[in-house]
Structure 1
Amino acid sequence: MSYLRYVAIGDSQSEGLMDGDELTGYRGWADRLAELLAATEPAVTYANLAVRGKLAAQVRAEQLAPALALKPDLASVMAGMNDLVRPGFDAAAVTGELEAMFAALTGQGAQVVTFTFPDIAKIAPVVARLRPRVLELNAGIRDAARRHGVIVVDAFPHAVTCDARLWSPDRIHAAPLGHALMAAAAAHALGLPDSDDSWTNPLPAARPIGTLRRVGNEAFWVGSFLGPWVMRRLRGRSSGDGRVAKRPDLLPVRDTQPAP
């Protein structure tokens, strides 16, 4: 199937954080998927309404209506991780927000694609206690997607999605290689030409890390990333405060690079 109007909504992963920088702009998996779509259909247009730090309810409240106004024939929805790591996480409430977005977009005729989340316990062992939340949220995403004919890129079962080389040092955002893999996975799920399941293959073996270095890495991560993140939450601040969508209008893929 050929898609001509692709709109991405969500949080920092869809915005493309860590695939680029604040000076040159961020690319990200959604931009990369748009490029794959354009390789098959040069007339495709693309908008990205995603903003970092947003909760699922905020994505629905702030991005869904503008997305519907663009009348996409393809939409991606990725949200929920910012909810999952907060106290008082309610999987049913989060999946309810996602399902409302699925229903609205598919009800208007769009094909929707979404993702499950990888095993957080393998990516960041310090927060392994959050793994049951990931399992519950993923189950809710699969069920909601099934009810609305949404395509799911099921990341959780594949070990490669937990490979440290796919993640930036903060272990929250994908590195460029991770964004490339996500785009390849979405292309395969959508059945784009020349796509296949090779994204599920493990990366070449990496050099083993000793116990002392592993412990040091965990301590560095807690001090450099987890601690500051917790402090922002306690102060009621978000990385998305004051941010706007990097690409709010449908434009030819080749015309506009992401703005800082």
Structure 2
Amino acid sequence: MRRVHWRRAPRARSSRRSRWRSSRPGRCTASTSRTAQVRRCRRAPPRPAVGGRAAASGVQFVMIVAVSLDLLLSRSVLSSSDAGVYALGAVATKAAFWLPQAIGVVVYPRLADPLRSAVALRGAVRVLSLIGLATTVVAALGGGLVPVVISDDYRPVAGLMWLFALTGALLAILQLMLLTAIARDRARGALPALLVLVVEAVVILTAVDSVPGLVAVAAGAAACSVAATWVWLAAS
């Protein structure tokens, strides 16, 4: 009698790479069974439209102008010496503005969540307000050191350092609100701030001729932008 040798059929080998490729978004995977073959497809996540990207860039452009408008126009309305004095004060504005920027990065995912956006925005605004208050107090206490540390030529701006810092703190809050508009896909949230910028530019060019006047207009414009944007976000 002949002996029958049974050989097992070779098993199909599937590497981790092939399974990973088949599970990627936008690819289809097929699984077979004795009764039926089930085909499953995963759709790739939709890509943001070009219009949405352009609108978000427009919001960022409004923020860049808001931070730089007073300093850019200072050369047009102030003398060379006063413009130099104002530039030193603007350092305090930039410091107060950039100091809490990491907060927006951390809170952005929650700002994009419709269920947590409002709560996250209020909490982040409270944190930014506390940081801005601390920065303003430090600038007020340390303003008297400006003539001693830098030069006596900058004595006129020593008593205004707190106002420069307050302007930067308000701009940091405005930045958070505009970031919220981007996260909610509501780029029109930059329109209130844009209108305030237009009014600010007109007032600076027509009615400002001193360092205190310019920083007062900048601080008032920042406060109006924050208030108008907050109202818009609350209504949207």
User: Is the pair's TM-score, using the shorter chain for normalization, greater than 0.5?
Assistant: no
Higher relative contact order (CA 8 A, sep 6+): 1
Task: State the TM-score, normalizing by the size of structure 1.
Answer: 0.27
For the pair shown, the structure with the greater C-alpha radius of gyration is 2
Bigger share in strand: 1
Bigger share in helix: 2
